Amino acid sequence: MDYREGKWAQQIISQQNSDGTWGRNFHSLSQPNSRYPLTTEQALRRLLALGFTANDAPIRKTLDCLTSCLMGERKIDDYWEKTHDWQLFTQLMLSAWIRVFEPENAVALSFAKRWANVIGASFAEGCFKHEAYLAAYQTEFAPNPKGAREIDPTALYHLLLLPGVLPREVEALYLDHVINKADGIYYVYSKLIAEPPGCFQTKQASWYCAALETLARYDLAREQLGFAIDWLKANQDSDTQWDFSSKASDGVYFPLSDSWRTAEDRRLDCTNRVRALLEDLGE
């Protein structure tokens, strides 16, 4: 099913600014609601879930804008978080989202390779060493202003940024570290990924799949996520479908169809998503 022609996609596209952005701010991955306007990140995450690619005109327009901002040709509209080196954090966000849709974008890829150097140094002893990470981070980026909070190397942005640029042995260590990290992936899923949710028919299970979808971008994901593949298969029903239940509707990952008034449409959405995830994992 092509969700790009549905009402959710058209609703988002109708709100796109002429420069390819949405709203007044770029950064926010919280769930869209009536109090806060749609941000560019929220729109991109939702359109990605609906099947949009770099070949679709709205995404192409956004990628051109983000690349221009990354090159310093224009400034992205956003508030400034004083606790971060906001300039560096903005480069990270822009590069990550560009590479989601256009992995070989030269500007974003160059930035990704710099972060790959930092991650490689962090695992040089065969496991993650925080001191090594800080040293490499300071050397590579010389973060400013003084005292700015370090950027978590296992949050969503790094995981979106780094597929295809880490040496195989580093990628294996990095994925293992993320999978076994107690608080999961910041901005996506806040629990241990190595332990799938006990109940499939929940919003939490949908968010868990979002974490798996993020990791599935890596070449070694199939080797390290066998337990998650087993969990997905175990939750297939007798009709060879999946159903996260109506609780999974969050305006981000679901719904995909125009309506969930019928269980049939909901089950179709859930099944299409899980099958796409399993395919990404080599199943």
Round the CA-based radius of gyration of the chain to a whole number and report it: 19
Instruction: Give the angle subtended at the CA of 19 by the CAs of 115 and 32, to the nearest 5°.
Output: 75
In whole angstroms, what is the distance from residue 16 CA to residue 9 CA? Answer: 11
Closest CA to 119 of 65, 62, 161, 181: 161
Domain ranges of the chain: 1-79, 180-283
pLDDT for 22-80, tens place per residue?
Answer: 987 888 766 555 555 788 999 999 999 999 999 999 999 999 999 999 999 988 766 66
The gap between the terminal CA atoms of the chain, to the nearest Å, is 20
CA distances from 47 to 50, 166, 229 (A): 5, 27, 25
CA distances from 180 to 35, 94, 197 (A): 36, 27, 14
pLDDT for 108-161, tens place per residue?
Answer: 999 999 999 999 999 999 999 999 999 999 999 987 656 567 789 999 999 999
In whole angstroms, what is the distance from residue 192 CA to residue 190 CA? Answer: 7
In whole angstroms, what is the distance from residue 247 CA to residue 195 CA? Answer: 21
pTM attached to this predicted model: 0.94
Q: Residue 87: what are its φ and ψ, rounded to 5°?
A: -65, -45
